[in-house]
Amino acid sequence: MARLVFDIETSALGLESFDEAQLEYLFRDAEKQTDDTAKALKRAEIQQQFSLWPFTAQVVCIAMVNADTGRGQVLFQSDDFEDEGGGSGGVEFAPQVDEQEMLTAFWDIARRYDEIVTFNGRGFDIPFLYLRSALLNVPISRKDWLGYRFQTEPHCDLAEQFTFYNVSGRDGAARRFNLDFYCRAFGIPSPKAEGVTGRDINDLMAEGRHRDIAEYCLRDVRATVELYKLWKERLAGIK
For each of the chain's 239 residues, which pLDDT tens digit applies? Answer: 789 999 999 999 999 999 999 999 999 999 999 899 999 999 999 999 999 999 999 999 999 999 999 999 999 999 875 545 566 679 999 999 999 999 999 999 999 999 999 999 999 999 999 999 999 999 999 999 998 889 999 999 999 999 999 999 889 999 999 999 999 999 999 888 777 888 889 999 999 999 999 999 999 999 999 999 999 999 999 88
CA distance 157 to 227: 11
111 and 224 share one domain: yes
32 and 92 share one domain: no
Q: What is the pLDDT of residue 84?
A: 53
Number of domains observed in the structure of the chain: 2
90 and 121 share one domain: yes
84 and 142 share one domain: yes
129 and 39 share one domain: no
Residue 218 lies in a domain: yes
91 and 200 share one domain: yes
67 and 38 share one domain: no
Residue 50 lies in a domain: yes
51 and 105 share one domain: no
182 and 77 share one domain: yes
64 contacts 6 by C-beta, under 8 angstroms: yes
41 in helix, strand or coil? helix
88 and 29 share one domain: no
Residue 239 lies in a domain: no
91 and 66 share one domain: yes
Residue 123 lies in a domain: yes
Domain holding 128, by residue range, is: 3-12+61-234
CATH number at residue 162: 3.30.420.10
| CA proximity to 228, closest of 67, 109, 7 | 67
> CA separation (Å) from 109 to 62, 63, 67, 85, 88?
11, 12, 14, 18, 19
> CA separation (Å) from 217 to 26, 165, 231?
28, 25, 21
CA distance 77 to 102: 7
223 and 195 share one domain: yes
